[in-house]
Structure 1
Amino acid sequence: MGEPARNVDRIDTAPGFLQEDADALNARFAGTDTSAMLQALFAEDILGRTAVVSSFGTESAVLLHLVAQADPAIPVVFVDTLKMFPETLAYRDTLVERFGILNPRVVQPDPQVLADSDANGLRWSFDPDGCCAIRKVEPLARAKEGLDSWISGRKAFQSVTRQDIPRFEVEQGRLKLNPLGDWVKAELDAYFEEHDLPRHPLEADGFLSVGCAPCTSPVKPGEDPRAGRWRGWDKTECGIHQPGIEPFL
């Protein structure tokens, strides 16, 4: 395959995407229903080798249902940091079965890296950035090897640090799709109700954004949905949505 084509109908994926490709896709699908957009992307093979990356958190069911309705064979990658809530692992199994996801994948931290860098499993308590790097960023980097694009569940309303999320963006030559970037909480709730989607078991207890168990707490009234993540630390992201930051071990 040659240079990526510069049109909105078909974009080849090798040797990589450029910002102008993302701009063209943002223009083509502006105002398009999310479900219709996903169906077109998969049918036309615009994304090339792609996968959904899902935390199986409180809002994950919406994106996973949309993708499974469009193409249940799209791989769904879950990074099991080995610090997850048991409820999250059970919820993952529930959604995979309920939605008929045909290609679920699990990636975990490298055992040798854990032995060298977090032997007692307590790195989260004094170095949350380092813990995320070895338990989430590095495993996901391995999972994305060979992919031309990946699909994220980020939404602008979740936090002030996630505002102005485009549907399509480019990170180091790989296309990143944020199908729900412009959705608001009311739209997500309406979709849950319309399709009778199961809720994360911890949501009723105030966990509005669920990550690893040691670093996730319930959200207080009036706080943004991600306020319960890394509470007490000057940290808002695990690192997988921060392009250019390499995993440090």
Structure 2
Amino acid sequence: MRTRWKMSAGVLIAAALVMPAAPAVARTEPAGLDAECQTVERKVYTDIRQLVTIDLDTATDTEVRVLANQILFRAKAESLPVLPDTVQERLRGTAEDLRAFLQTGLQNAWWTSLRIAVLRTLRDTGANVQATAQKVLDTEALDAYLAYLNDGLYAARALDCAAKPTSTASATASATTTVSASPTSSTSPVAAAGGEDDEQLPVTGAATGAVAGIGGTLLLLGGAGYLLGRRRRSRFVA
């Protein structure tokens, strides 16, 4: 005859966290890309079947509740739809209902949760992710859903992100266009700054007027001197 213990929900949750999970559950994955092509830590989805390490036909009611809390904890950590609410509702019921759910209803609720999780990845995504996800959805297999969410999604997303133009390339193209469109100056740096060639340049402007004025004055003075000289000579001869 089974021994039925009455334990609080807090004690059951603590026991669920203390109990070691199956070795194959723990996974460490390299970083991946999110929908915005930013590097993030991969979200790992647990194979719930590997959490069921007890014989549900012979396990005590306490062991069944501990298992249910372990599944609830993982479902919430992975932000799965459907499954957390379903398990929580069964935990409020009798031990017999909870045991029956774990035996026959758990896999169906988990399947629905994973399928919705795959559908969610199709929001604002690229062609590679869409094609890969659709192929997985067509299989309707639990293992295919898990493989896609843990690996296939990130591989397809990497291809989509690689096909996008990078912001660096766009900035470089913009800078090149700006430089090409800028007007070029025809003035030589040497001519602008001045140098040894200045002495060979023609004199123009105000400098030319000054030289002409001085020349005219000298010409007038020369003419006056010539006239005065002639008068003096004329008087001397007479």
Please, what TM-score do these two structures have when normalized by structure 1? 0.23
Name the structure with the higher strand share. 1
Bigger relative contact order, structure 1 or 2, given CA contacts below 8 A and separation 6+? 1
Q: Which has the larger radius of gyration?
A: 2
Of Structure 1 and Structure 2, which has the larger fraction of its residues in helix? 2
